[in-house]
Amino acid sequence: MEQIPYKIYLEENEMPAAWYNVRADMQHKPAPLLNPATGAPMTEQELEGVFCSELVQQELNDTDRYLPIPEEIRAFYKMYRPSPLVRAYCLEEKLQTPAKIYYKFEGNNTSGSHKLNSAIAQAYYAKKQGLQGVTTETGAGQWGTALSMACAYFDLDCRVYMVRVSYEQKPFRREVMRTYGAHVTPSPSDTTAIGRKILSEFPGTGGSLGCAISEAVEDAVSHPGYRYVLGSVLNQVLLHQSVIGLETKAALDKYGIVPDIIIGCAGGGSNLGGLIAPFVGEKLRGERDYRFIAVEPASCPSLTRGRFAYDFCDTGRVCPLAKMYTLGSGFMPAPNHAGGLRYHGMSAILSQLYDDGLMEARTAVQTDVFKAAEEFARVEGILPAPESAHAIKVAIDEALLCKQTGEAKTIVFGLTGTGYFDLVAYAKFHDGEMTDYIPTDAELEKSFATLPTIG
Amino acid sequence: MEQIPYKIYLEENEMPAAWYNVRADMQHKPAPLLNPATGAPMTEQELEGVFCSELVQQELNDTDRYLPIPEEIRAFYKMYRPSPLVRAYCLEEKLQTPAKIYYKFEGNNTSGSHKLNSAIAQAYYAKKQGLQGVTTETGAGQWGTALSMACAYFDLDCRVYMVRVSYEQKPFRREVMRTYGAHVTPSPSDTTAIGRKILSEFPGTGGSLGCAISEAVEDAVSHPGYRYVLGSVLNQVLLHQSVIGLETKAALDKYGIVPDIIIGCAGGGSNLGGLIAPFVGEKLRGERDYRFIAVEPASCPSLTRGRFAYDFCDTGRVCPLAKMYTLGSGFMPAPNHAGGLRYHGMSAILSQLYDDGLMEARTAVQTDVFKAAEEFARVEGILPAPESAHAIKVAIDEALLCKQTGEAKTIVFGLTGTGYFDLVAYAKFHDGEMTDYIPTDAELEKSFATLPTIG
């Protein structure tokens, strides 16, 4: 058998020419978004007030299996893709496991994560529609950075509402966005009505993702030529992120490798949904079986301890309702360092797959996650983002299980990004100042009480 | 003609199996290191007190054209190499130039630069010699990070003396080193005699590279089982870095591309020396002609305004003397943000090539450099290190010259690393707080006065 290289790169002409739309193969489609005011499914017209028209089409399309990737987006993808599928030889040796471990590494671009895959697509459609710019929110800053890069490429105005506490604590992220010409506003701000309202009610607040979303949406709908864009959760985002899974599958196929288990971290679901999409398709069509594992922080366990119900996508309760696994939009996640996973809900697609028993989920506490991150960094040479390290933790667990049973399983996980802007968290871990937090049942009951009665 | 892809990756089996030793092809060999006490060439035995034995052999070897890369080092290289040779299609379009621009990107590893190429080699030979650990100094932290990663891989103790002002201003770099298990000590420290001496003479000093070198050397020679390692300047380092040039040449050859101009930033010379080595070899052997351009900061112009003379490699004046272009070891570079280029001297190999008229050199002021960096980041998607941006600046200049003349020259430059840990500098640039500094002739005369009379 051919020797598997350390890194499998596709040729440019082997890169996917179309995104894969897993909804086309799902028997139980994800439930539609509902208008919170009427309880009726959101219409195209309603959605187009907030989102770009072509993205609305993608959001609603659950029948076309493949959607062509426009040439302009493919050209941009070629600047930083294909991303490598790496055989973790050094980790395998360190663990002394018979398992074969692979990871799809999405961190080799300046945004530092997979977020760029959807950012460039959303910016492209905004440009194509003749818009002047887009607005968004960002917490830790990966999404905001990715969108800034994409907007710089298409010469679009980019307005980012960054949670104030992150804006102050992560000046470097903010600075990268400025390098790409974005306007970054700490949220809550006095530039929007909702921002002023919150500031007057809670003077000196550090802000929240929910508030930043509300400000970004208000900014978009109140300025002609602007639309709001979102970096996760939505069907369109998972569609764009399918490029991760398609490349992974093409790379594996090249060497005749068939994975047994595919693992990804799950916050809103953009990475995991993209990584597993084509494999889920095979499973749905009965062509091949795989195990899929979503890993979420124990502090924010939407799949493992949440309810499958209609809920607001934002804590500000201005966005449409989605049917998803959720802890309730009133859930206040503990200050876990994996900012990208601190979301009360989960993509409707992944929620449906999980509810249908097609995917597993488990949790990890953050000290275990950082331990795995450090072990990985030392042997594989990549300093992972705390989010990505959730997947590493479970991949190591599964590889050690193989060591016990003697099985040589093939494990693939998604390494979504790098941790260069997360070193405050690493410092806390090294200094023994990191704590774990698991919400009590009573706390969850309280946040479930914030679920709307609609739907 | 075949379409050139955005990124040319070599296959693993196309990666170099041997380093190229350019000294073997040089008619005028670089002058030997001298013992500052005796003025005589440093002997093997003298050097082995400070450096690993096999590295001393490499340091002195100016006859063997190729030195095999040990299998263990090649395995490590495969974790993050081959690095891509990128066709800068987007930059070309932005500039509207007929020039064809390529860059060899060395930043896709956690150390963020090319430094890892030599770090892993030096750690390997230390391990092979049965040593317990190595010591070194670091300024901005790229070299210290690279060495930490290399030592973690071979389970070697790693002691890094980090210039105190950087230690305090760049806590994130320090934290990455800690993740890789290195012991990082702010310099000057009270753990060495020279450190205590300096602290008593200059209480509260922020330290300097020269002092950190002295501490690292003292630590190494006073502890059995330890040796000192250095990240640039030395012949051995340029030898290891030839992997950059060999890969570049192999990638170009694959598509029949012949560069006209090869550009690199130059501090101690490790990147530029490695990048151009095999091309210089062709030029020396009369096989093909190329233009080579070294770019240095206007604030630290060792090639363009320095003297070709024997000088101390360190400001502490404890290391051997090297014949090189130098501003004098007493030269205090202005606080330019390209910390990796703030060195008073230049590799003996590059100095000799420059003196023989085989290479050009020019300077750039830092505001121009950051302007080029930002322009590059916006179209090519990579946030460059300030050091690397010196090469970008001159590559853009040359491409714009082609636009004027209509020539479709092929330009290759080295993109040594990423700027994720340099965002304080980017912020200053954005805020208009960055100033340029060019030393006066009188200032240089003053630092030339620190040149030793020996040699």
Q: B2 falls in which pLDDT band (50, 70, 90)?
A: low
Mean pLDDT of all residues in chain B?
Answer: 94
Cα(A438)–Cα(A301) distance, integer angstroms: 9
Q: Which residue, A63, A62, A38, A33, is CA-closest to A48?
A: A33
**Chain A residues close to B103, C-beta within 8 Å:** none
Torsion, Cα of B58, B59, B64, B67 (10° steps): 30
- Are B381 and A5 a contacting pair at CB < 8 A? no
The H-assigned helical ranges of A299-343 are 302-305
Q: B311 Cβ partners below 8 Å, 6+ apart?
A: B321, B322, B323, B324, B326, B328, B329, B344, B345, B451, B452
Contact A314, A453 (CB under 8 A): no
CB A4 within 8 A of CB A255: yes
**Rounded-to-integer distance, Cα B2 and Cα B21, Å:** 32
Average pLDDT over residues B44-62: 96
Kindly provide the b/e burial profile for residues A210-233, where b requires at least 16 CB atoms within 10 angstroms of the residue's own CB: bbbbbbbbbbbeeeeebbbbbbbb
Task: Give the least confident one: A7-16, A254-263, B288-297, B332-341.
Answer: B332-341
| A378:B180 CB<8 A | yes
Look at residues A114, A99, A98, A414 and name the one whose alpha carbon lies nearest to residue A262. Answer: A414
Q: Which of A171, A178, A427 sits opposite B175 (nearest CB)?
A: A427
pLDDT at A2: 64
Residue B381 to residue A153, Cβ atoms within 8 A:
yes
User: Are B152 and B176 within 8 A, CB to CB?
Assistant: no
Task: Give the separation between CA B123 and CA B120, rounded to whole angstroms.
Answer: 5
B350: helix, coil or strand? helix
Above 70 in pLDDT, residue B1? no
**A426/B179 CB distance under 8 A:** yes
How do residues B19-38 score in pLDDT, each as one tens digit? Answer: 999 999 999 999 999 998 89
Give the pLDDT band (50/70/90) at residue A74.
Answer: very high
What does the angle CA B176 – CA B180 – CA B184 come to, to the nearest 5 degrees? 70
Is residue B408 within 8 A of residue B402, CB to CB? The reply is yes
B77 Cα to chain A: minimum distance (Å): 10
A6/B79 touch (CB, cutoff 8 Å), yes or no: yes
Ordered alpha helix ranges (H), B157-305: 164-169, 171-179, 193-201, 209-221, 235-254, 270-284, 302-305
Angle, nearest 10°, between helix axes B116-128 and B142-154?
A: 40
Phi and psi based region of residue A303 (left: phi greater than 0; alpha: psi -120 to 50; beta: remaining): alpha
B316 sits in which H/E element? none
Distance of CA B260 to the CA centre of its chain: 23
Q: Which two tokens stand for residue A331?
A: 């859930």
Residue corresponding to tokens 């790098």? A418
To the nearest whole angstrom, how far is the Cα of B284 from the nearest Cα of chain A?
A: 35
pTM: 0.94
CB contact under 8 A, A382 and B6: no
Measured between CB atoms, which of B152, B176, B426 is closest to A175? B426
- pLDDT tens for residues B195-245? 999 899 888 888 888 789 889 999 999 999 999 999 999 999 999 999 999
What is the sign of the dihedral through the CA atoms of B265, B271, B273 and B277? negative
Question: Residue A331: pLDDT above 90?
Answer: no
Residues of B in contact with A426 (CB under 8 A): 175-176, 178-179
Residues of B with Cβ-Cβ distance to A420 under 8 angstroms: 112, 172, 420-421
Q: How confident is the model at residue A319 (pLDDT cuts 50, 70, 90)?
A: confident
Could you tell me the two tokens for A34?
Answer: 């509902």
Q: Are A175 and B430 within 8 A, CB to CB?
A: yes
Is B6 in contact with A78 (Cβ distance < 8 A)?
yes
CA–CA dist A201, A245 (Å, integer): 45
CA-based nearest residue to B334, from B434, B404, B252: B434
B44, pLDDT greater than 70: yes
pLDDT tens track for B170-182: 889 999 999 999 9
**C-alpha distance from B3 to closest chain A C-alpha (Å):** 11
- Report chain B's C-alpha Rg in angstroms: 21
Q: How far, in Å, CA of A113 to CA of A419, rounded?
A: 10
**Best residue in A423, A424, A426 to probe B by mutation, most B CBs within 10 Å?**
A423
Residue A290 and residue A259: Cα distance in Å, rounded? 7
User: What local confidence, expressed as pLDDT, does residue B314 receive?
Assistant: 78
Over residues A35-63, the mean pLDDT reads 95
The interface predicted TM-score of the complex, written ipTM, equals: 0.91
Residue to mutate among A92, A113, A172, with most B CBs inside 10 A, is A172
- Smallest Cβ–Cβ distance between B381 and the set A110, A378, A430 belongs to A110
Write down the pLDDT at residue B378: 93
Q: Which residues of B touch A79 (CB under 8 A)?
A: 6, 90, 380-381
How much is the pLDDT for B371?
97
Question: Between chains, do A108 and B110 touch, taking CB under 8 Å as contact?
Answer: no
pLDDT more than 90, % of chain B: 85
A91-100: pLDDT as tens digits:
999 999 999 9
Residue B165, H or E segment: helix B164-169
CB pairs under 8 A between A and B: 109
B-chain residues within 8 Å CB-CB of A179?
374, 377-378, 383, 426, 430
User: Residue range A429-447: average pLDDT?
Assistant: 94
Q: Does the pLDDT value for residue A283 go beyond 60?
A: yes
Using an 8 Å CB-CB cutoff, list chain A residues near B181. Answer: 378
| Model pLDDT, residue A243 | 98
Put simply, the answer to whether A420 touches B152 (Cβ < 8 Å) is no
Which DSSP letter does residue B51 get?
S
Residue A455 has pLDDT above 60, yes or no: no
| Chain B residue with minimum CA distance to A145 | B381
Q: Looking at residue A357, what is its pLDDT?
A: 98
Q: Which residues of A touch B (CB under 8 A)?
A: 5-7, 9, 11-12, 75-76, 78-80, 89-90, 108-110, 112, 149, 152-153, 171-172, 175-176, 178-181, 374, 377-383, 418, 420-421, 423, 426-427, 430
Chain A partners of B152 at a C-beta cutoff of 8 Å?
A: 378-379
* pLDDT level of residue B379 (50, 70, 90 thresholds): very high
The arrangement of strands across the sheet holding A133-138 comes to: A183-187, A157-163, A133-138, A226-228
The number of beta carbons lying within 10 Å of the beta carbon of residue B278 is 21
DSSP at A449: T
Contact A25/A286 with Cβ under 8 angstroms? no
* B166-192 average pLDDT score: 92
Rounded CA Rg of chain A: 21
Burial class (CB in 10 A: 0-12, 13-18, 19+), B15: middle
Structure tokens at B407: 């020539």
Q: Is the pLDDT of residue A339 over 90?
A: no
> Is residue B166's pLDDT more than 90?
no
**Residue A415 pairs with which residues in a beta bridge?**
A105
Closest to A394 in 3D by CA, of A373, A425, A418: A373
pLDDT at A318 over 90: no
Q: What is the pLDDT of residues B284-338, one digit of tens each?
A: 999 999 999 999 999 999 999 999 999 998 777 878 899 999 999 888 777 777 7
Q: How far apart are CA B246 and CA B240, in angstroms?
A: 11
For residue A431, what are the contacts with CB-CB under 8 A and spacing of at least 6? none
| Domains of chain A and any CATH numbers | 21-68+115-228 (3.40.50.1100), 80-112+234-448 (3.40.50.1100)
Averaging pLDDT over each range in A88-102, A201-215, B334-348, which range is the top one? Answer: A88-102
- What is the average pLDDT score of chain A? 94
Q: How far does the CA of residue B319 sit from the closest CA of chain A (Å)? A: 32
Q: How far apart are CA A374 and CA A107, in angstroms?
A: 17
Q: Check CB contact under 8 Å for A430 and B176.
A: no
pLDDT for A8 beyond 80 = yes
Cross-chain Cβ contact B181/A378 below 8 Å? yes
